[in-house]
């Protein structure tokens, strides 16, 4: 059963500007080491980082939490399964709030935009 829904779109140039201005400080604040490792090996890392940023926003919208109650950007991690499908790993604070619910996501990006869609559903 669907219990939450979230979508987000971001201009890739916003992530490029944040990287240029804040560099590693921005990356450490928003992304996990695995997200950084995955994205930085891409030809255009800002596209991958933008998609993950949009996914984090979409997940927080689906959860209805935002960045409140001590929840950090890194409490939502976007990883890829062995087949390349993006999946969500949630930190302890979030899992304690939502229990056994599951989050499904879909990501896409072009040179200019990244978009993500998240669905929160009851565990089977």
- Known catalytic residues are 61, 109
Please report the DSSP string for the chain in residue order.
-EEEEEEEEEEHHHHHHHHHHHTHHHHHHH--HHHHHHHHTSSSHHHHHHHHHHHHHHHHHHHT--S-TT--GGGEEEEE-TTS-EEEEE-HHHHHHHTT-EEEEEEEE-SSEEEEEEEEE---
């Amino acid at each position: 059963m669907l219990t939450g829904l979230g979508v987000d779109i971001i201009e890739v140039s916003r992530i490029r500007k944040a990287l240029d201005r804040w560099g590693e400080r921005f990356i450490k604040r928003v992304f996990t080491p695995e997200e950084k490792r995955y994205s930085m090996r891409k030809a255009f890392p800002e596209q991958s980082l933008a998609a993950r940023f949009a996914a984090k926003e979409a997940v927080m919208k689906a959860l209805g939490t935002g960045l409140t109650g001590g929840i950090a950007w890194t409490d939502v991690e976007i990883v890829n399964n062995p087949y390349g499908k993006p999946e969500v790993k949630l930190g302890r604070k979030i899992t304690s709030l939502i229990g056994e619910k599951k989050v499904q996501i879909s990501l896409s990006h072009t040179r200019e935009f990244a978009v993500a869609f998240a669905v929160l559903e009851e565990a089977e």
